[in-house]
Amino acid sequence: MPTQFEEQTPTIQVAPSAVLELMWVLHFAQAHHEHEGLFASLDSLRGRFGPQIREQMADGLTQNAAELVVLGHRSHTLRDLDLSRFFDRIESAMTEQSEPPALLSEAPAERKIVRARLERLRTDQALRKRYVELMSAVWQAVEPEWEREGREAVIAAAQRWTQALEEQGATYRGLLGLTRLWPGRPELDEMADAAAAQGDLVLNPCWFGGKIHIIELDGTVHVGKGTRFPDAEPSYRKIAADVSADIKALADPTRLTILLRLAREPASVTELARLLKLSQPTVSAHVQVLREAGLLEERVVGRSAELSASEEGLKRLFSRAEESLVRMFRS
C-alpha cells in the first residue's frame, strides 16, 4: 500500500528580539530631527548618545547597526528578550574569526563598511571596550521602558501575528501593512518572498521599531516593524519633518554642487575648496551635512581623507522621501 505524505507548508516564524530593539534605539539616537509622539521618549538620546555613536566608528555610515545584529547572531542571543546573555557573550562574538554573514540585505557599500567595523572590533581591544560600554549605556537608558511596557507588548504582538498567520491565513506583508517592503530596492521584496517560501523568514515585532527593518543572516531573513503605530490618520507634521530632514542636504546649491563634483571624481576637502573657490571651513561644514545624510563615502589616502558621492545613499534618501509622500495619496 502506498505511503501518503502530508504536504508541509513552510512556516513563517515570529520572534521578538532585544538585540533588534537596541538596533532600533541606535537608529533613532542618530537622527537629526526631533522625535515626537510615539517616539518622544527616545528624543533625549539624540543629544546624549547620538554624537558618540556616530563618532565611534567614524566611517560615515549612520543609522545602521548591522554589526550589532551580526554579534547577536554569532552569540546565539538574537531571540532573547533581554541583553544579559548578549553582553556576557559579546567579547567572544567580537573576537570570533569566522567569516561574517553575507548580509545580502545591505547595499554593497554598506556591507563593506559593516565588515570593516567587525574587523576593527576583532583587532582593536580598546575599541571593543568603548563599544560595549556605549551599547550598555544606551540600553540602560531605555531598559526601564522596555521592562515596563515594551517586553509585554512585543510578546503579545508575537502571539497575535502567529495566530493571524496560522489561523487566519494572513500574509506577512499584510501583517506589516506594506505592499512593498523597501521602495527602490525590489530585490529585498524578492529575498523576503523567497525566504517565506522556504521557511527562512522571521518576523520581528519591535517596541522601539520604526516602519520596517530587513536583515539577512546566513540565509535567514529577519523582517519587522514597530508595534505601536495606531490605525489612525498619520501625523502630517511628523511626515513633513521627516521628509524635510531627508532632503535638507540637497536643499543648498553649494552642497549639491559638491555632491555632483564628487559623483564624477573623488576629492579631498582641500581640493574641493580650491576648485570651488571657497574657504576650507565652509566646505568642511557642507561636507559634514552630506556625510550625516549618508551621501558620502570616505577613505584615507595618506594623511588626508578622499571623499566620493554615495550612489546608494542618494537612492535611499529619495526612496524614503518618495515612500513617505506617496503613501499619503489615497488610492
67-99 pLDDT, tens digit each: 999 999 999 999 999 999 999 999 999 999 999
Distance CA 117, CA 103 (A): 13
C-alpha cell at 87: 553582553
Low-confidence ranges of the chain (pLDDT < 50): 1-8, 231-233, 330-331
pLDDT value at residue 224: 95
Q: For residue 239, which amino acid is it?
A: I
Q: What residues does CATH 1.10.10.10 cover in the chain? A: 236-326
β partners of residue 298: 307
Burial class (CB in 10 A: 0-12, 13-18, 19+), 148: exposed
Chain centroid to CA 252: 26
Q: What angle do CA 277, 280, 282 make, to 5 degrees?
A: 85
E strand spans, 22-137 = none
SS3 state at 167: helix
Q: Which sign does the torsion angle of CA 19, 24, 25, 29 carry?
A: positive
- Would strands 220-226 and 296-301 be described as parallel, antiparallel, or unpaired? unpaired
Residue 304: phi and psi, rounded to 5, are -125, 165
Tell me the fold of 236-326: Arc Repressor Mutant, subunit A (1.10.10)
pLDDT value at residue 279: 93
